[in-house]
Amino acid sequence: MIRKAVIPAAGLGTRFLPATKALPKEMLPIIDTPTIQYVVQEAVDSGIEDILIISGKGKRAMEDHFDRNFELEARLEEKEDERWYNEVRRLADMANIHFVRQKEMNGLGDAIYYARFHTGNEPFAVLLGDTVINSVIPVTQQLIDIYEQYRGTVIAVEEVPHDKVSRYGVVGGRKLSDTLMELSTLVEKPAVDKAPSNLAIAGRYILTPQIYEAIEHTPPGKNKEIQLTDAFLYLLKRENIYSHTIEGKRYDIGNKLDFLKTNVEFALRRKEFAAPFAAFLKEIVRELEAREAGK
Ligand code: UTP
């Protein structure tokens, strides 16, 4: 059984400067909800109640977000704003959320290594704090279901266009079903003609305690950071690793363009914004088309 989740959220977010100079990128809101809240919700919706967030310098806002705020609660009570009072209380009670600070930003592999005392001898889920996945069945639940059957490391992947593979970590191996693969290789940002597939690592994993030994044996790689993909290569020589092609759509808010697109798509899905926002977008498209026609 998977009882614990680890959410790495300590990264510097250099691709999102200047916003991330003092604000954790995981707190950037998709409309009105911090990204990390969607991530915690996915873990909770997958039956996980114990969550460890890997935090770091300048990331206190995440702790405050999942804590009580008595002054705000009192004000909302006074205003008889039951909806927001309940929501603010719910955030502090969503799960048992713990924090540990990554002392130096030495990469995702290093961030996960900080979870070793918390997860001990148990398998656990990992959800990247800057990645939201919209799906009917929560993706972490999809991975747990596979873990229960195969008892090995499971990596969520998504299909990406062949010509875009060099932006991602890409997996290759033997197909066990339409969505499941037993891996024989993982490559970080491969050249288009060298990629073993068009399946890109999607920011959700089930890891076994063996990952810690693998991280210990992984020297710093790209950007002098301990790369989780490199640790998987060590692990692959010793045990099976599976990939699951997710049913869902992934949004990486760590880069500005994807963040903008994410906000547009989520706004169109929100009842109170869908109609007026769609009208606004259509107006913009009309203006763009008119401008192009006038050229
Ligand atoms: P990224 O590589 O996207 O985060 O890591 P980053 O390093 O903050 O990004 P840029 O390139 O500088 O913009 C994916 C997730 O892993 C966490 C990040 O916080 C993010 O949620 N992470 C990354 C850590 O917790 N520690 C690290 O050392 C690196």
Residue 206, domain CATH: 3.90.550.10
> What separation in Å is there between the alpha carbon of 254 and the centre of ligand 1?
8
Q: How far apart are CA 19 and CA 203, in angstroms?
A: 22
pLDDT-derived band at 241, boundaries 50, 70, 90 = very high
What are the tens digits of pLDDT across the range 117-160? Answer: 999 999 999 999 999 999 999 999 999 999 999 999 999 999 99
Within this chain, do residues 270 and 249 fall inside the same structural domain, yes or no? no
As a whole number, mean pLDDT of residues 237-247 equals 96
Is beta strand 29-30 parallel, antiparallel or unpaired with respect to 124-127? unpaired
Mean pLDDT, to the nearest integer, of 17-46?
97
Question: How confident is residue 222, by pLDDT bands cut at 50, 70 and 90?
Answer: confident
Domain tally for the chain?
Answer: 2
Both 220 and 276 in one domain: the answer is no
pLDDT of residue 257: 96
Whole domain around residue 226: which residue ranges?
Answer: 4-254
Ligand 1 geometric centre to CA of 34 (Å):
16
- Statement to judge: residues 189 and 237 lie in one domain: yes
Which residue among 7, 12, 253 is best mutated to probe the pocket of ligand 1, counting the most ligand atoms within 8 A of its Cβ? 12
Percentage of the residues of the chain whose pLDDT score is greater than 70: 100
* Tokens 């959410």 -> residue: 7
Confidence of residue 70 (pLDDT cuts 50, 70, 90): very high
The pLDDT value given to residue 73: 97
pLDDT computed for residue 140 by the predictor:
98
29-30 and 33-34 as β-strands: parallel, antiparallel, unpaired? antiparallel
Do 88 and 227 lie in one domain? The reply is yes
Q: Same domain, yes or no, for 118 and 216?
A: yes
Model confidence at 8: pLDDT above 80 = yes
Q: Could you report the per-residue pLDDT of 206-218, keeping only the tens digit for each?
A: 999 999 999 999 9
* Same domain? 178 vs 191: yes
pLDDT at site 109: 97
One domain for residues 203 and 120: yes
**What CA–CA distance (Å, rounded) separates 243 from 199?**
9
Angle between helices 139-150 and 35-45 (to 10 degrees): 40
Residues near ligand 1 with C-beta < 6 Å? 8-16, 26, 54, 102, 105-108, 110-111, 128-130, 254
Q: What's the rounded mean pLDDT across residues 280-285?
A: 97
Q: What is the mean pLDDT of residues 70-95?
A: 96
Residue 125 near residue 140 (C-beta atoms within 8 A): yes
Tell me, yes or no, whether 52 and 161 share the same domain.
Answer: yes
Residue 195 and residue 282 in one domain: no
Give the single-character DSSP code of 163: G
The whole-angstrom separation of Cα 143 and Cα 125 is 8
Peptide bond into 18 cis (omega under 30): yes
- Residues in the chain, total: 295
User: Which of 236, 254, 272 lies at the terminal end of a domain, its last residue?
Assistant: 254
- The stretch 165-192 carries a mean pLDDT of 95
Residue 183 tokens read as 């891996």
The stretch 161-187 carries a mean pLDDT of 95
Residue 295 pLDDT > 80, yes or no?
no
Atom 18 of ligand 1, nearest CA residue: 11
Query: Which pLDDT belongs to residue 29?
Result: 98
User: Which residues does 109 contact at the CB level (< 8 Å), separation at least 6?
Assistant: 215, 218, 225, 226, 227, 228, 230, 231
Tell which atom from ligand 1 comes closest to the C-alpha of 131: 21
As a whole number, the mean pLDDT across the chain is 96
Are residue 239 and residue 293 in the same domain, yes or no?
A: no
Are residues 264 and 249 part of one domain? no
Q: Which residue's CA is minimally distant from atom 5 of ligand 1?
A: 11
What residues does 204 pair with on adjacent strands?
127
Residue 249 confidence (pLDDT): 94
pLDDT grade, residue 261 (50/70/90)? very high
Q: In terms of domains, do 79 and 208 share one?
A: yes
pLDDT class of 193 with cuts at 50, 70, 90: very high
